[in-house]
Chains A and B, each alone.
Chain A
Amino acid sequence: MEITPAHYALLSAALFIIGVVGVLVRRNIIIIFMSIELILNAVNINLVANARHLENLVGQVFVVFVIAVAAAEAAVGLGILLAFFRNKETVNIDEMNVMRW
């Protein structure tokens, strides 16, 4: 049985939804960040698979950019997390409501 881009697309979709569920369900904000990394990885798999399928390396170039954005996001997000934790002593996202009316 040949492995087609459809297989990779399904893998990507499944991983994506796993990340989404992690974002929606968990209350620990560190795990939510990690779920976001999973989502990004799902996107990357899709891009790389289609790059090979279409024999066009632009997809891989975009994966490089996605990794750069993921690194930036992780750095800033974790910086905010640290700053917040110093003030509130919590990483529970349900307790992060200081900006609510």
Chain B
Amino acid sequence: MVTNITNLGRSGLSDWLIQRVSAIILAVYAVFMVLYLLFHPGLDYATWSGLFSQTWMRIFSLLAFISIAAHAWVGLWTVSTDYLKQSGARVAFQAVVMLAIFVFLVWGIQVLWGA
């Protein structure tokens, strides 16, 4: 049993499950987006804004945002523990990634529910 405190779920099993489930959500969201764009060739602002004014789309988008945040944290945490052997550099990298994920998530929520 290897202990650590900086991974997302504090357990390899939960990280692994989070990674798999978030990947499925992101795949569904990506396929939905591609299909939506294909079926709306002359997409204008009103249609696009109309899509995102609906509650189900906001929930679906927030789900995708949270998924990408979790997915990125698990993935980049793994990359940092593989390649960054110097503890200071590793912790600094993890802090920057965590901050960026947090900022993007809050910003995403603001975009979804603002204006």
A joins B in a complex: no
Residues of A bordering B, CB below 8 Å:
none
Residues of B bordering A, CB below 8 Å:
none
